[in-house]
Amino acid sequence: MAAVTELTLSALSLELEAGRVSSVEATRGCLDRIAALDGQVKAFLAVDPAQALASAAASDARRAQGKRLGPLDGVPLGLKDLFCTTDFPTTAGSKILEGYRAPFDATVVARLRAAGAVFLGKQNLDQFGMGSSTEHSGAFPSHNPYALDRTPGGSSGGSAAALAARFCFGALGTDTGGSIRQPAALTNTVGLKPTYGRLSRSGVVAYASSLDCPGPMARTARDVAMLYQATAGADPDDSTSLRQALPPLTLDAGVKGLRIGLPAEYFGGGIEPEVEALVRACAQALERQGASLVPVSLPHTRFALPTYYLLACAEASSNLARYDGVRYGPRAAGATSLKDLYEKTRSAFFGDEVKRRLLLGTFALSAGYYDAYYRKAQRARTVIARDFTQAFGQVDLLLGPTSPAPAWRLGEKLEDPLRMYQMDALTLPASLAGLPAASVPAGFTAQGLPVGAQLIGPAFEEARVLQAAVALETAHPWHQKAPVL
Ligand code: GLN
């Protein structure tokens, strides 16, 4: 029999329900793999085997009494270390939160806990979500299980690497400008950035509040849908969480009759030809299942990058003001005044990329520059969102690449922040517009590197995005191709 860790989350859930596999067996399977292989992959920042096995045993006991809590009961999951958790440290991948213990669980974590999920540990990320490769983690970079000398993407790269390496069955990540979709694309996994506000931000360490979206990651769209269902929905602790009831999921409805738009700006110049060819093959697979393909244009796509990096840095400069050596984490020694304490602490414990962004953001918000930069970027954001509104007048969904290139070598773009930022060119627009978008496996390059296809839907239409994602993975079950570790 194949190892339990090869099962998808949905398959494991059925095995658990039928009593053919216990949660302790599944959890031990994950922990054994982590112990054997995470020295190479470096997906986790913290793992707690005793605690995970204890919650697995509790899940098995519930099942034995006929009191299973639902489909996630007993399923081992990982969490990007940007979610507050009472039972693990919460570091946001930064030295400035070393030793911090959150006094409460993030709402989405609490929902998974109440559903009986088993938490294996906290997963690596670029500090505060600022990065596209995990190389801006304060701890260490994670490695792509399909090519260990390459990045698994970022910022939720630890979670994506863990999924690809079969260390866990699902995970929660966050996506501010692509941090769920891009690592999913680079690791042959699936990630959903929901509509802004669909999942509560309460207890998620803030990066850029008008863009931050927690969301599910797993190896298949069906698995992602299960995690989405368990975590989405209004939360009184987040004033921006959406109040609407969740429309039912329609995973098996297929794509017959759906109009799929192919944005001209997402193909051609700047996109690696192999990536483009694989994503076009996805479009054809959907067409064969009855969808119609429609050429569309999102004319302001090229402004998304400067717009995003301006707004995200501005919001970050305000959000990260709280790390001052007084309220959280470590404090630099030898300060002679309060101002000196702030300066010494922040310069000692924030990473270089964080500092770069805080400087940029503070500058953009300063008196005299506010109109030229921040206000102008807000206007550009509106124009970018309007592109989507116009496109969705003609089509039901949009399809394009998630990332312009497959996984690059660790170190390759570290010295050139702009080249790193360019890897986000195709995920940023949907973030600025607040739209739901998923990345699904689209196949492999000749070198064996995974490629992801991005599906973008109109606001609130996660169900439609997931429905097309399921259709794609049924046509091309790329997720079955495991890395060789
Ligand atoms: N790579 C982008 C950034 O560095 C997006 C990050 C994210 O979505 N958290 O800002």
Specify the CATH number for the domain of residue 151.
Answer: 3.90.1300.10
CA of 128 to the centre of ligand 1 (A): 9
Do residues 156 and 183 lie in contact, with contact meaning Cβ atoms separated by under 8 Å?
Answer: yes
Confidence at 268, pLDDT banded by 50, 70, 90: confident
Q: Tell me, yes or no, whether 233 lies in a domain.
A: yes
Q: Which residues participate in catalysis according to the annotation?
A: 80, 155, 179
pTM: 0.98
Please write the tens of the pLDDT for every residue from 296-346: 999 999 999 999 999 999 999 999 999 999 999 899 999 999 999 999 999
Domain count of the fold of the chain: 1
Provide the pLDDT for residue 269. Answer: 85
Q: Which residue bears the tokens 């390459």?
A: 150
The amino acid that residue 324 corresponds to is D
- Counting from 1 in the atom list of ligand 1, the atom nearest the Cα of 131 is 4
Query: What Å distances lie between residue 151 and 171, 215, 401, CA to CA?
Result: 18, 21, 18
Q: Using only C-alpha atoms, what is the Rg of the chain? A: 21
List the 397-401 sheet strands across, edge first: 44-47, 118-123, 76-80, 170-175, 213-218, 190-193, 437-444, 450-456, 397-401, 259-263, 292-296
- Counting from 1 in the atom list of ligand 1, the atom nearest the Cα of 156 is 9
**C-alpha triplet 124, 72, 250: angle, nearest 5°:** 100
pLDDT average, residue stretch 411-438: 97
Provide the pLDDT for residue 62. Answer: 98
Please write the tens of the pLDDT for every residue from 215-237: 999 999 999 999 999 999 999 99
Q: Ligand 1, residues 128, 132, 418: which to mutate, most atoms within 8 A of Cβ?
A: 132
Least confident of 126-130, 162-166, 371-375, 469-473: 371-375
- How is residue 66 annotated by DSSP? T
pLDDT average, residue stretch 8-29: 98
For 141, the 3-state DSSP assignment is coil
Q: Ligand 1, residues 82, 94, 130: which to mutate, most atoms within 8 A of Cβ?
A: 130
The amino acid that residue 5 corresponds to is T
Q: String of b and e for 27-48 (b: at least 16 CB within 10 Å)?
A: bbbbbebbeebbeebbbbbbbb
Provide the pLDDT for residue 144. Answer: 99
Q: Tell me, yes or no, whether 447 lies in a domain.
A: no
The amino acid that residue 382 corresponds to is T
Residue 1 pLDDT > 60, yes or no?
A: no
Expressed as residue numbers, the domain containing 66 is: 4-257+467-480
CA of 178 to the centre of ligand 1 (A): 6
Q: Tell me, yes or no, whether 17 lies in a domain.
A: yes
Q: Whose CA is nearest to atom 4 of ligand 1?
A: 131
Q: Tell me, yes or no, whether 139 lies in a domain.
A: yes
Q: Ligand 1, residues 308, 413, 424: which to mutate, most atoms within 8 A of Cβ?
A: 424
Which residues, 6 or more positions from 146, have their beta carbon under 8 angstroms from its beta carbon?
Answer: 164, 187, 188, 407, 448, 449, 450, 483
pLDDT average, residue stretch 437-454: 98
Q: Which residue bears the tokens 């689209």?
A: 442
Q: Tell me, yes or no, whether 71 lies in a domain.
A: yes
Tokens read off for 77 = 């999951």
Query: What Å distances lie between residue 128 and 140, 160, 317, 340, CA to CA?
Result: 14, 17, 12, 23
CA of 428 to the centre of ligand 1 (A): 9
Q: Tell me, yes or no, whether 160 lies in a domain.
A: yes
CA of 421 to the centre of ligand 1 (A): 8
Residue 126 pLDDT > 90, yes or no?
A: yes
Query: What Å distances lie between residue 227 and 39, 99, 134, 338, CA to CA?
Result: 28, 29, 23, 44
Which residues, 6 or more positions from 117, have their beta carbon under 8 angstroms from its beta carbon?
Answer: 72, 73, 74, 75, 76, 77, 230
Q: How many CB atoms lie within 10 A of CB 152?
A: 37
- Counting from 1 in the atom list of ligand 1, the atom nearest the Cα of 129 is 9
The amino acid that residue 281 corresponds to is A
Q: Are strands 76-80 and 170-175 parallel, antiparallel or unpaired?
A: parallel
Q: Tell me, yes or no, whether 308 lies in a domain.
A: no
| Rounded CA separation 151/158 (Å) | 10
Extract long-range pairs of 277-280: CB within 8 Å, 24+ residues apart: 278/442, 278/443, 278/444, 278/445, 278/451, 278/453, 279/399, 279/400, 279/401, 279/442, 279/451, 279/453
Tokens read off for 60 = 């098995």
Q: Which residues does a 6 A CB cutoff place in the pocket of ligand 1?
A: 129-132, 155, 175-179, 207, 312, 424
Averaged confidence pLDDT in the chain: 97
Q: Tell me, yes or no, whether 117 lies in a domain.
A: yes
Residue 145: phi and psi, rounded to 5, are -60, -20
Provide the pLDDT for residue 321. Answer: 96
For 308, the 3-state DSSP assignment is helix
Helix (H) or strand (E) holding 47: strand 44-47
- Counting from 1 in the atom list of ligand 1, the atom nearest the Cα of 179 is 8
The amino acid that residue 304 corresponds to is A
Residue 292 pLDDT > 70, yes or no?
A: yes
